[in-house]
Amino acid sequence: MLDALVIAPHPDDAELGMGGTIIRLIAQGWSIGILDLTSGEPTPLGSPEIRAKETSQATSALGLTWRRNLGLPNRSLEPTLVHRRALAAVFREVRPRLLFAPYWEDAHPDHTAATRLVEDARFWSKLSKSDIPGEPFHPARILYYFSVHLKIVERPSFLVDISDQVEVKDRAMRCYRSQLVDNQPEGRPGVIESVRDRTRFWGHTVGVRHAEPFASREPIGLTGLDRLLL
């Protein structure tokens, strides 16, 4: 099924937080999917129809073959038992070895709720003797990407080099014109510019042009050191 599933509170969060890594993993032969939890609407310049069109364009730009929206309520997303069951059913269906969730600290309530929901649904997905559709399954690990609304310096566990993917990531982000292009303030850096500055900063710390940061709550095991950037 899927090697990895990226869970995003809203369409555009996956692109902002780890679009370059998604592109890189697909090029390496990984099967990647994105599950958007909500439509992301209403927004000042958007609509459900506009956002769906933008999401489709971004999906094509990333090169994805699997993307779905769970249809949970935007602005009032909560890690309820009903939502947990729905998400666990998706995990059982696509059976990803790896989950990517939003970083657990954020100012946006939808983002922190999404993180809790992913963690809870991962546990429920393995339960036997339940009414959750599908066969029990437990994704091996959760990694956390940064698409935060806090003015913080991220505290990553590791970085992924996206120097060769940054232009395609930029193109995917720009598909969300109603969110990231047409509504940006004059005279100040917009969201896309800020994201690119952050990837440039993190790339600088490991000697590449651009990198995306990720966190893990648990230790990460390695079979060797041959692929580390030194």
Cβ neighbours, 10 Å, residue 107: 11
Give the number of C-alpha atoms closer than 13 A to the C-alpha of residue 27, restricted to the C-beta side.
12
Whether residue 50 lies inside any domain: the answer is yes
pTM of the full structure: 0.96
**Would you write out the chain's pLDDT as a tens digit for each of its 230 residues?**
999 999 999 999 999 999 999 999 999 999 999 999 999 999 999 999 999 999 999 999 999 999 999 999 999 999 999 999 999 999 999 999 999 999 999 999 999 999 999 999 999 999 999 999 999 999 999 999 999 999 889 999 999 999 999 999 999 999 999 999 998 888 888 999 999 999 999 999 999 999 999 999 999 998 998 878 76
Whether residue 67 lies inside any domain: the answer is yes
CATH of the domain at 80: 3.40.50.10320
Whether residue 33 lies inside any domain: the answer is yes
Whether residue 115 lies inside any domain: the answer is yes
Q: Distance of CA 117 to CAs 10, 109, 114, 123, 170, Å?
A: 14, 12, 5, 10, 28
CA distance 84 to 69: 15
Domain count, the chain: 1
Owning domain of residue 192: 4-214
Whether residue 221 lies inside any domain: the answer is no
Find the farthest-apart pair of alpha carbons in the chain and give their distance in angstroms, rounded. Answer: 58
Whether residue 84 lies inside any domain: the answer is yes
CA distance 95 to 44: 36
Whether residue 185 lies inside any domain: the answer is yes
Whether residue 196 lies inside any domain: the answer is yes
